Chain A
Amino acid sequence: MTGAYSERFWPSLRAAFCLAIVVFLIAPMVIVAIVSLSSAPFLTFPPPGLSLQWYRKLSGSSVWLDAIATSASIMLPSAAVATAAGTAAAVGLARARIPGAGLIASLIMAPMIVPVIITAAAMLGAFRAWGLQGTRVGLILAHTTLAIPYVVFTVLAAMRLVDDRLESAALTLGATRWRAFWRITFPLILPAVLSGLLFAMVISFDELVVSIFLSSPTVRPVTVQMWSDVRGDVDPTIAAIGTLLLVFSVSALLLETALNRQRARPLVAEAAATGPEATR
């Protein structure tokens, strides 16, 4: 615990234990990546040999390429709208006088807290009535709704760190409220906004449960396609697509980490603690 007087035993045991847990956390995903390079059409590990055949199969499969295109075409608009609406809401909640601010904040955060299965079932019912079930627009709207709480959480935390006296100083120096915000506050919260954008993108691309309910044979994101394949005959193509998804996620995380190098550690832990794969 402190100084040189802790025995050697407990720290070594703890180190070994932690190593095991770290392996527990990472190994499964590494294994998927390795299986995706298997030369055999089975999910055996270790694979008998290495081959890129499954990735070639992916790149030649119209089913999968369509799925990827669908996912991308849903992710981009939903992430953009979620980031815009979420950032605006966070700024409003942090700075403006809003009656019932607490309730409004709870409402906006609700999709993060309510179990996704409920959200999925509810959206199915409502969207069906509105003719949005099985449409791309429907999926975009759904993903946007799911992503907004994460953006708000991240940006709000950043807003609270920025001293509003900075804006006051800008005002005394001749800036209007609007300019003070854009020139002073916004640059300071920009990393958080970009984090939120990345969150929103990963949420959308990896989203499964709501998408199952809202997709159709013609509008089918990657995850839903995986879902239907994984319960049938499985071959390493699934591992390949899974690996691609993993690469996407880890890249986003790396980007987010690089963005936040300046920020305090507890803030990263808290902001990320409501990451994209929350209530599912």
Chain B
Amino acid sequence: MRMGLLQLNSVSKIFDTITAVDRISFALAEGEFLSLLGPSGSGKTTTLQMIAGLTHPSSGEILLAGRPIGPLPPYKRDIGMVFQNYALFPHLTVARNIAFPLEMRRMRRAEIARRVAAVLKLVDLSGFEGRYPQQLSGGQQQRVALARAIVFEPKLLLMDEPLGALDKKLREQMQLEIKHLHKRLGVSIVYVTHDQDEALVMSDRIGVFNQGRLEQIGTVEELYEQPTTRFVAEFVGETNVIRGEVRDGANGCCILETAEGPLRGRARQAVTTGSAALISVRPERLRLAAGQPARSDGDGIQGHICEVIYMGRLRKYVLDTAGGQKLIVARQVAGVEANSFAVGDAVVATFQPEDAVVLQDAHEHGDK
């Protein structure tokens, strides 16, 4: 494996009886933006804390630039960290907060002042030197926390759900700002979030966490188009999952026998005939046509529209299928919709086999 900036080898963290982090391994290249994405309690923050040195791994090792950093205490690791609640020192001004890491490194006063001013300009807070954290808005505090974490030019920056406390508009604005900062500084970032839209916007790669395990790591496109587990398919973006039995599984193209009839999809791993499996189709990859009594050729699911949700850019249809489950179809609203349906219409939802992914039906990932 290529030696990147950061490497985790089979790192675990066990608290009494709870395994918070279960044999996580991944590598981070220089300048890369990696998001750790997952629901609350899935182990992402604990992983971050182990990288920072605030918690000790129960097993496994962490390498920074090829060297194990296990024995190094947090104050010697030279890693920047932005905390969820910002952790700004309330008794220090903005300037002193930002100057703090430089003072710890015994930099000269003039140099400190210069750097603080420069980084304040970078985060667009020039003039705020004398204010105290309590006097700032949430967004401003967030930027001070960021400034403080990068002023000493670390190679690696850790961010623990830094935008969680901000409202939607501000969050979206900050996401772009962070992304631009990343490009500008060339620093490697490990970013923890539970918001998949956020991860999609900002990251080069995403690692999806579930109950302490790293289920899949890859680019946004890889995760979206080729999820390897049901959890990833459902967590990153929206999808429809249909249960079935493998009827024919030869070189990547698979036929599943389902309650909706036979459906085809791509399988990344080998599947054995007769085994239980799932097929995952994204809502926007489904097309709707007026229903016909006879089964149409190809992969189609019959049903009735039970709900229509207008969302501006998209129109979502919720279908009651013939096989007894709910299907979500999303169509773009493009001008005068020639092809829009109403509640009660009988329809067939069709998709291309390349747009569907076949996944193992492992029972731990079963019902969510």
- Give the interface of A toward B (CB within 8 A): 2-5
Q: At the interface, is chain B mostly helix, strand, loop or mixed?
A: loop
Q: Within 8 Å of chain A (Cβ to Cβ): is B53?
A: yes
Taken together as a complex, chains A and B put the C-alpha atoms of A183 and B55 apart, in Å, by 49
Q: Which residues of B contact A2 (CB under 8 A)?
A: 54, 74
Give 14 A-B contacts (CB < 8 Å), ordered by A residue: A2-B54, A2-B74, A3-B49, A3-B53, A3-B54, A3-B55, A3-B56, A3-B74, A4-B55, A4-B56, A5-B53, A5-B56, A5-B73, A5-B74
Q: Which residues of A contact B49 (CB under 8 A)?
A: 3
Q: Which residues of A contact B56 (CB under 8 A)?
A: 3-5
The residue in chain A whose Cβ has the minimal distance to the Cβ of B72 is A5
Taken together as a complex, chains A and B put the C-alpha atoms of A2 and B55 apart, in Å, by 8
Q: A3-B55, A3-B56 are in contact. List 11 more A-B contacts (CB 8 A).
A: A2-B54, A2-B74, A3-B49, A3-B53, A3-B54, A3-B74, A4-B56, A5-B53, A5-B56, A5-B73, A5-B74
Q: Tell me how far the C-beta of B168 lies from the nearest C-beta in chain A, rounded to whole angstroms.
A: 29
**Beta-carbon contacts under 8 Å, B18-52 to A:** 49
The residue in chain B whose Cβ has the minimal distance to the Cβ of A4 is B56
- Give the interface of B toward A (CB within 8 A): 49, 53-56, 73-74
Taken together as a complex, chains A and B put the C-alpha atoms of A3 and B46 apart, in Å, by 12
Q: Tell me how far the C-beta of B298 lies from the nearest C-beta in chain A, rounded to whole angstroms.
A: 58
Taken together as a complex, chains A and B put the C-alpha atoms of A4 and B49 apart, in Å, by 12
Q: Tell me how far the C-beta of B271 lies from the nearest C-beta in chain A, rounded to whole angstroms.
A: 44
Q: Which residues of B contact A4 (CB under 8 A)?
A: 55-56
Q: Tell me how far the C-beta of B63 lies from the nearest C-beta in chain A, rounded to whole angstroms.
A: 18
Taken together as a complex, chains A and B put the C-alpha atoms of A16 and B321 apart, in Å, by 70
Q: Which residues of A contact B74 (CB under 8 A)?
A: 2-3, 5
Taken together as a complex, chains A and B put the C-alpha atoms of A5 and B53 apart, in Å, by 8
Q: Tell me how far the C-beta of A42 lies from the nearest C-beta in chain B, rounded to whole angstroms.
A: 53
Q: Tell me how far the C-beta of A10 lies from the nearest C-beta in chain B, rounded to whole angstroms.
A: 13
Taken together as a complex, chains A and B put the C-alpha atoms of A5 and B55 apart, in Å, by 8
Taken together as a complex, chains A and B put the C-alpha atoms of A152 and B308 apart, in Å, by 61
Taken together as a complex, chains A and B put the C-alpha atoms of A2 and B73 apart, in Å, by 10
Q: Which residues of B contact A5 (CB under 8 A)?
A: 53, 56, 73-74
Taken together as a complex, chains A and B put the C-alpha atoms of A2 and B74 apart, in Å, by 10
Q: Tell me how far the C-beta of A3 lies from the nearest C-beta in chain B, rounded to whole angstroms.
A: 5
- A-B pairs, top 3 by smallest CB distance, nearest first, are A4-B56, A5-B73, A3-B54
Taken together as a complex, chains A and B put the C-alpha atoms of A120 and B54 apart, in Å, by 56
Q: Which residues of A contact B54 (CB under 8 A)?
A: 2-3
Taken together as a complex, chains A and B put the C-alpha atoms of A2 and B56 apart, in Å, by 10
Q: Tell me how far the C-beta of A214 lies from the nearest C-beta in chain B, rounded to whole angstroms.
A: 48
Taken together as a complex, chains A and B put the C-alpha atoms of A4 and B56 apart, in Å, by 6
The residue in chain A whose Cβ has the minimal distance to the Cβ of B73 is A5
The residue in chain B whose Cβ has the minimal distance to the Cβ of A2 is B54
The residue in chain B whose Cβ has the minimal distance to the Cβ of A5 is B73
Taken together as a complex, chains A and B put the C-alpha atoms of A5 and B54 apart, in Å, by 8
Taken together as a complex, chains A and B put the C-alpha atoms of A3 and B74 apart, in Å, by 9
Q: Which residues of A contact B53 (CB under 8 A)?
A: 3, 5
Taken together as a complex, chains A and B put the C-alpha atoms of A4 and B54 apart, in Å, by 8
Q: Which residues of A contact B73 (CB under 8 A)?
A: 5
Q: Which residues of A contact B55 (CB under 8 A)?
A: 3-4
Taken together as a complex, chains A and B put the C-alpha atoms of A2 and B83 apart, in Å, by 15
Q: Tell me how far the C-beta of B72 lies from the nearest C-beta in chain A, rounded to whole angstroms.
A: 8
The residue in chain A whose Cβ has the minimal distance to the Cβ of B54 is A3
Taken together as a complex, chains A and B put the C-alpha atoms of A2 and B53 apart, in Å, by 9
The residue in chain A whose Cβ has the minimal distance to the Cβ of B57 is A4
Taken together as a complex, chains A and B put the C-alpha atoms of A175 and B228 apart, in Å, by 60
Taken together as a complex, chains A and B put the C-alpha atoms of A173 and B54 apart, in Å, by 52
Q: Which residues of B contact A3 (CB under 8 A)?
A: 49, 53-56, 74
Q: Tell me how far the C-beta of B166 lies from the nearest C-beta in chain A, rounded to whole angstroms.
A: 26
Q: Tell me how far the C-beta of A233 lies from the nearest C-beta in chain B, rounded to whole angstroms.
A: 57
Q: Tell me how far the C-beta of B45 lies from the nearest C-beta in chain A, rounded to whole angstroms.
A: 14
Taken together as a complex, chains A and B put the C-alpha atoms of A87 and B291 apart, in Å, by 75
Taken together as a complex, chains A and B put the C-alpha atoms of A5 and B72 apart, in Å, by 8
Q: Tell me how far the C-beta of B26 lies from the nearest C-beta in chain A, rounded to whole angstroms.
A: 22
Q: Tell me how far the C-beta of B64 lies from the nearest C-beta in chain A, rounded to whole angstroms.
A: 15
Q: Tell me how far the C-beta of B53 lies from the nearest C-beta in chain A, rounded to whole angstroms.
A: 6
Taken together as a complex, chains A and B put the C-alpha atoms of A4 and B73 apart, in Å, by 9
Q: Tell me how far the C-beta of B250 lies from the nearest C-beta in chain A, rounded to whole angstroms.
A: 52
Taken together as a complex, chains A and B put the C-alpha atoms of A229 and B53 apart, in Å, by 63
Q: Tell me how far the C-beta of B81 lies from the nearest C-beta in chain A, rounded to whole angstroms.
A: 12
Taken together as a complex, chains A and B put the C-alpha atoms of A4 and B74 apart, in Å, by 10
Taken together as a complex, chains A and B put the C-alpha atoms of A7 and B74 apart, in Å, by 13
Q: Tell me how far the C-beta of A5 lies from the nearest C-beta in chain B, rounded to whole angstroms.
A: 4
Taken together as a complex, chains A and B put the C-alpha atoms of A5 and B49 apart, in Å, by 13
Q: Tell me how far the C-beta of B155 lies from the nearest C-beta in chain A, rounded to whole angstroms.
A: 20
